Structure 1
Amino acid sequence: MNYLYYNNTKSFLEEYNKDFPDALANKYRELFHVSPGLYLYNSWKGSIAYLYNLITALNSKGIVLEYIIPAGGERADAIFVGNTVSPSLMIIEMKGWRTMEIVDDYSVIADNKKEVNPSYQVLNYSGKIKYSIEGIENFNINSMVILYNILNHNKSMDGIYSGNERELIIKELKKNLDPGFDPHSLTTFVNARYRQNINLFEAVRKYHLDIKNGAMKALASEGYGLYSEQLEPYLEIINNLLTGTPGNYIIHGGPGSGKSLIALNLLLRSSAMGKQSVLSYRNNRMVASLRKLLDSISTGMSTLIKYYSTGRPGNPGVAEDKFPVHYDIAIFDESQRMTVKNIKNAGKVADISVFFYDDSQILGTREQGTQSNFLKYLENPHEITLKGLYRNGNEYGEFVNKLLKGESTIYPEPYDLQYFPDIKCLINTLKTKIDLGKKSALVASFTEAKGNIHDINSQDNIRIGDRIPSGLNLYSGTGIAVRWLMDPKKEYAPFWVGGESNKLEKCASVYGAQGFEADYTGVIWGRDLVRRDNKWVLGDNCEDFEIKKLFFKGKNGDKTSYDTAIELLVNRYRILLTRGIYGTYIFCEDSETGEYLKRQCHMEMDLNDRSNSMDVQ
């Protein structure tokens, strides 16, 4: 369910009474498992009462209250559905502020507090709905802001109405919603599935000039604007760059929360401002891919991407001793992989240092980028948390977390999650998505084949095939051969940026998947983390060099090593399971674990029945 209430306005008028906010609160508890705060509850009382007075002057229309914007979690206060030449939406943002002064296109001072400009906010909602909702391409979409407690209207505020402009608001609503109402359009809208229009790399390539010029409104109208929680740190950091205010920012966010999107926005905007800027990683696959991306935009831009750790004293990374440059802004993505020494150096290498991290994605015991270490070793750190999971939705993110904790969970429709008992069926299903123009990729747990970077044709690089180095006899006779991606400089950029992942001839381990995304991913779940006696345990094979010693010690009775190995493996599977924007398809090499995954995902129906029952995106 992606709304708290929907019906036609005639029914709303009949149902509305003083207890209506209580009914919304009950829906809120049902959906989010927490009670709405007093501020939100009181805002419903004011905003819905105002909407009621508008509706009495309208003919029958559709109405949706507290509509959850796709993949984000922000909610549009009200959406009216009508029909002009085609089905029409009017998205309404209701604000109960008593005072508001516009600062710029993105910020206002409301009731003496800095807030996101509601005109940008509602424009962003419009773009997200237009480009992220399946099946409403022919809808006419408009928006407005109503400041229902403010009576003096500033005529320079386009699309923003004050509370005493009821007649103007009604006129605008009728213009965009009359003459009729088709109930089918309402149900089409509220039941439509989420789809992401383009992935991160494609968006940056397409909109890089807008990003560099700070034209965020253009991005928002095209469905790729920043949500409020993403926009606020971006604007604060850019403003501090302009004013020369130093600081350290630590920004936490889960998989797909927009960390890399904000990082690239900061990099392109700050460099266009003439500031000494750098975006750095430890991940050599990501460095190679981003360098290729930026050079495709403009020759020489790849110099903005650097390693923060090289391990080579003669050629140190940005966060290592004796790095020779001091920046205006240094941005560190995936900084959970930093050591304490990296953190200390990174906090001093720039006037403004920005750390994006997710400590649930720590991959090894040498990685120390945790909240406690950032707070301990950085001077005056500013903490920010990104709560949304925008790549594949909050519901799917919560599902993955519960699955990996071993908790009972519910299959997160409409996200396309499928379990396949047969690898050929999984690959053939990915091929149907590729035929529809979608980007697909195979990712796999680091088991069965250890890899050989020095010889790409080595038998050690065969992850799926008749002869696997570990001796696992699972794929014999399938005719399928899939090799590890190995060369960071030559293979990863073509795979993730150039679209070669669609060949389904190679797969990425967690090291080559972290930070990347595809429309659909096929996950090969290995024998390293398996389900036994209702808990996760270490299995029969692990080739991951970061875990192998822990794996060996843990299997021989060292409880600390055992627990650490389980924790790190869970982190790996969290990454692998959250690379897919639209869908994740799972094949498991351990049959008992596979049965558990099938039960947890509530995938008991026949695969053919399931495929036929799902709309093709």
Structure 2
Amino acid sequence: MALRCLYQGSAGELAEIIAQGQLVEELRRRFIATHGAKPKESESASWGGSIHTVVDLLMGNGLEDVQVLIELTAPICDARMDVVLVGSERETGEICVVVVENKQWSQVRPVLGTQMVHVPNAPGRNPRLHPAVQADGYRQVLRDFVPMLRTAKVMSLVNLHNMPAAVLETIRGDNQELEGGAKRTRMYGQEPEERERFAVKLTKTLSGDKAYDYARDLLSARVSPTESLMTAVAKSVRGRSVFPLLDEQRKAVEFVKAQLAASRQGNKRVVLIVGGPGTGKSVIALELLAACSKDVLKVAHATGSRSFTRTLWEYAGIDKRARRIFRYFNSFATVTSKLDMLIADEAHRLRRHAPGTGLSQVGQLINAADVPVFLLDEHQVVRPGEDGTIQLIENTANEMKHEVLRIDLRNQFRCGGDPEYIRWIEQLLGLVPGEPPRRWRPLENYELYVAPTPDAMEKFLNKRATETNSSARISAGFCWPWSYPRRDGTLADNVRINGWNRPWNVKGDEWVGDKPPHSLWATHPGGRDQIGCIYTAQGFEYAWAGVIFGPDLVWRDGGWQADISKNHDPAVEDASDFDFLVRNTYRVLATRGMRGTVLYSVDRTTNFMLGNLGARLLDYDGVLMNPS
């Protein structure tokens, strides 16, 4: 996994492109080649209107050798930084990195009590994340996830080249109560004295010495994956900010926090946060939990997943408090003391009707808190009775006379931070109307393989996990019976494929020797040699994912055929929508990996189809075929 950008070159080289009037066209060409689509007009306008204002300062102050990286993709998601300058630190000669966030705004006003701003007459939705918070988020993520920068000089600046000083003053850190690095992030406006201050800051910080070498080293540097969600739980419970949230994730957190203030005035709203796998929904949930705990507010985190909730209990490590904070959806049938905030994570697992009450389960959760927050992905509904849809939540809130505020997440934090893989899986499984399976286009940040046997898959994953000192798990469709542990403390090899036999994860809540209960299969090292199912994989992540397609979903005559008779999950045995549920199931299983995925189907025709889509092929020993 490495960093990538749209353009890399010295300030002098970039100045020549700008002088020739070719900047926007050159960046558009590179964008189409990289992303397979045209950039938005707003992006092109930003390139043409802002980049030259930074290059002019570099060229006018003897910094023509400083390397300029345009549209550098953040190391843990697909958010892109406007401009990153790379050179030597003046005092030490070591690598120095300056993140510059460009804004063409001329007018802005703070949204008091938040780290948000309102930008009048600008395209897009208001309010927006404060630019200093946005820039500092990029600084943090570079420091936290690029080991070579952890002891280096990394700073963030905001270039507001159209903004009058009087307007800029209203959103400076002291006036808007910004915190931490955002408060220390310098912002520069349009007046000559502002541009001079910007230039002085750059010249005091940067030198062009060794800039090319440092930029080359940065773009080829190792990137560590994001901290595991589960290992961060204990920090969140204690009220600490855990993750360097970027752009829309940070905006979502600030937006929800603002609703707490509004609820004090009697303006209760329901917040709906929607996003696909790895867009940071659970990270946002834990960050909100940390913020509420820090402010000594009454807060609870609820899910419909037994595995996910019990794992949260385990990793929080303080059982009584954890069990009070981390709860199930069905824990709110009666409300004795209203919460300040209820965070309903994985809300796609909500059920339409709550047993024994007159309210729906959604209605119960809305009643339980001043600010109810629902986080969901509609494509993760995998069993009958789960009905947590956007429409259900919106309709229930409207019936209860509450406004619904919706946030849609785009940036991917899982799957190498690249949404292309998730889109490819959705197209493969026929979950995108009108878009059939397409050939795989190799990505820099994510690896995809097809194995000829489950044994080859296992050998490859074990080797990858050892080489990278990371986690790997194999999961499968629920196409084999699932037995309880034997009396002698061993597990039956239920998953049997042509002489390759492995046990499912432990059935039950007790340890079996060194093998963890099913709720810890995805996160405890002892789960590595068992096969996980949808109920133990959903909601979790690991570095390397292996996915076994069972005979319940096969490829025939140019399309998928679902066969409920081949599925052993009691929860779906009478499901009228099994075809939809089983394709969602394999989507979930195939989007757990952070670095790469290996696919295999027990059906030869299906595995042949997967192998013909362009993924890299493994041989029978789990070795890459034709590595060149």
- State the 1:488 CA deviation: 4.4
SS at match of 2:429: helix
Q: Pick from 518, 522, 535 the counterpart of residue 492 of structure 1.
A: 518
Per the alignment, do residues 105 and 54 of structure 1 end up closer, same or farther by CA in structure 2, a change over 3 Å counting? farther
Alpha carbons 2:107, 2:163 under 8 Å: kept: yes
Post-superposition Cα deviations, 1:319-377, rounded to whole Å, max 9, x if no partner, equal: x4x45553222221111122222123222222221111111111123221112222212
Query: 1:385-396 alignment to 2 at 5 Å?
Result: 385-392=408-415, 393=417, 394-396=419-421
Distance in structure 1 (CA, Å) of the matches to 2:268 and 2:285 = 17
The residue number in structure 2 matching 1:64 is: 69
The residue number in structure 1 matching 2:94 is: 86
Alpha carbons 2:146, 2:223 under 8 Å: kept: yes
- State the 1:76 CA deviation: 0.8
**What amino acid does structure 1 have at the position aligned with 2:507?**
M
**Pair 1:576-2:613 in alignment:** no
**What amino acid does structure 2 have at the position aligned with 1:69?**
A
Q: Pick from 449, 460, 466 the counterpart of residue 429 of structure 1.
A: 460
The residue number in structure 2 matching 1:447 is: 479
Alpha carbons 1:333, 1:355 under 8 Å: kept: yes
Per the alignment, do residues 135 and 462 of structure 1 end up closer, same or farther by CA in structure 2, a change over 3 Å counting? farther
Query: 1:455-604 alignment to 2 at 5 Å?
Result: 462-464=493-495, 468=496, 474=498, 476=499, 478=500, 481-488=502-509, 491-501=517-527, 504-539=528-563, 541-550=566-575, 561=576, 564-604=577-617
Q: Pick from 214, 231, 236 the counterpart of residue 202 of structure 1.
A: 231
Distance in structure 2 (CA, Å) of the matches to 1:453 and 1:60 = 66
Alpha carbons 2:450, 2:618 under 8 Å: kept: no
**Pair 1:413-2:443 in alignment:** yes
Alpha carbons 1:271, 1:277 under 8 Å: kept: yes
- State the 1:120 CA deviation: 1.8
The residue number in structure 2 matching 1:337 is: 349
Distance in structure 2 (CA, Å) of the matches to 1:581 and 1:47 = 34
Per the alignment, do residues 250 and 290 of structure 1 end up closer, same or farther by CA in structure 2, a change over 3 Å counting? same
Q: Pick from 359, 362, 382 the counterpart of residue 363 of structure 1.
A: 382
Alpha carbons 2:236, 2:287 under 8 Å: kept: no
**Gaps (5+ residues) in structure 1?**
310-316, 551-560
Distance in structure 1 (CA, Å) of the matches to 2:504 and 2:145 = 34
Q: Give the number of equivalent residue pairs.
A: 569
Tell me the TM-score normalised to structure 2 length: 0.82
The residue number in structure 2 matching 1:295 is: 317
Distance in structure 2 (CA, Å) of the matches to 1:136 and 1:595 = 44
Per the alignment, do residues 177 and 54 of structure 1 end up closer, same or farther by CA in structure 2, a change over 3 Å counting? same
Alpha carbons 1:21, 1:45 under 8 Å: kept: yes
Alpha carbons 2:534, 2:585 under 8 Å: kept: yes
SS at match of 1:462: coil
Q: Kindly report the root-mean-square deviation, in angstroms, between the aligned alpha carbons of the 2 structures.
A: 3.1
Moved more, 398-407 or 539-548: 539-548
Alpha carbons 1:289, 1:492 under 8 Å: kept: no
Tell me the TM-score normalised to structure 1 length: 0.84
Per the alignment, do residues 13 and 274 of structure 1 end up closer, same or farther by CA in structure 2, a change over 3 Å counting? closer
Per the alignment, do residues 53 and 342 of structure 1 end up closer, same or farther by CA in structure 2, a change over 3 Å counting? same
- State the 1:306 CA deviation: 1.4
Alpha carbons 1:284, 1:488 under 8 Å: kept: no
Q: Pick from 118, 125, 129 the counterpart of residue 142 of structure 2.
A: 129
The residue number in structure 2 matching 1:314 is: none
**Gaps (5+ residues) in structure 2?**
175-182, 353-359, 431-435, 512-516
**Pair 1:327-2:346 in alignment:** no
Distance in structure 2 (CA, Å) of the matches to 1:344 and 1:107 = 30
Moved more, 342-351 or 16-25: 16-25
Distance in structure 1 (CA, Å) of the matches to 2:452 and 2:478 = 20
**Pair 1:160-2:160 in alignment:** no
- State the 1:441 CA deviation: 2.0
Query: 1:187-266 alignment to 2 at 5 Å?
Result: 187-191=216-220, 194-206=223-235, 209=238, 212=239, 219=242, 224-243=243-262, 244=264, 245-266=267-288
Distance in structure 2 (CA, Å) of the matches to 1:199 and 1:460 = 28
Post-superposition Cα deviations, 1:182-238, rounded to whole Å, max 9, x if no partner, equal: 4343334345565414111223334654xx25xx5xx5xxxx322221222222222
Distance in structure 2 (CA, Å) of the matches to 1:108 and 1:259 = 23
- State the 1:517 CA deviation: 1.0
